[in-house]
Amino acid sequence: MMLEDYQQDYQCNILSSGLTHVGCVRTCNEDAYLEMPDSGLWCVADGMGGHHAGDLASQRIVDVLADLAHRFQGPALLQRIKSVLKMVNTELRETARHMGSNVVIGSTVVVLVLEGENYHCFWTGDSRCYLWRNQELQCITRDHTAVSEALAMGYLTPEEAYRHKRGNVLTQAIGAFDEFFVEVESGIIYENDTFLLCTDGLTKVFSDQMIADRLHAPNIGDINSSLINEAVSLGAKDNLTSVMLAIEGI
């Protein structure tokens, strides 16, 4: 089943579109996403497939962030994101320990917050945030995977990394490790910027260039639907989630 949420915040001149799909292989969708334009927060979380209760982990992250964004905005919201994610990490680790010594309940997450004329991206794992600006696509995030680290050190080429069979081996994720780590990247927002947050179900099907080739249409709702539908038509093996937002005025 595909779920769609398409909304417009006229006050902030932001268009927002979110979609999720179970994909063509799995029976359970362990992805979750959040759109809160009024609070300036968007999020995508990918429960760790093959582990216990991945959907519980991703939904818990989304629920905690939604509660936070209902209560805080701007700098107060930014100051609390890491602390609530750390709380979820501790909570999931404790739940997993009670279920057995080898149990992992985890999720990747990428969070985008718009605050004034700035954006702030928080992430851990391999869910990504892209910025489409002046007809060019930039990946704001860096995957927390063994393959990504090997690429950064020059041990793999970009093509080898993209096709690597161990590309899904994470080095960071909420609930997967006792040591908590969230990376942050900030920048300035410009009119006509478009952001794309997505799980690796989408990036396993499309390379960055393939995504860029599909971002030229004017309506982000249509773009988002096309991305998900095409990925499914190509036999996407993983859950797919994509959240897009377009800045139409500042």
Task: Domain ranges for the chain, please list them.
Answer: 3-247
Q: What is the pLDDT of residue 169?
A: 85
Contacts of residue 201, defined as CB under 8 A and 6 or more positions apart, other chains included, come to: 23, 31, 46, 231, 236, 237, 238, 239, 240, 241
Q: Please give the model's pTM, rounded to 2 decimal places.
A: 0.91
Percent share of the chain, pLDDT over 90: 75
**pLDDT tens profile 1-46:** 444 454 444 345 899 999 999 999 999 999 999 999 999 999 999 9
Q: What is the pLDDT of residue 13?
A: 87
Give residue 157's pLDDT band: very low, low, confident or very high (50, 70, 90): low
CA nearest neighbour of 236 among 25, 51, 46, 28: 25
**pLDDT tens profile 108-128:** 999 999 999 999 999 999 999
**pLDDT tens profile 213-222:** 999 888 999 9
Q: Which fold has domain 3-247?
A: Phosphatase 2c; domain 1 (3.60.40)
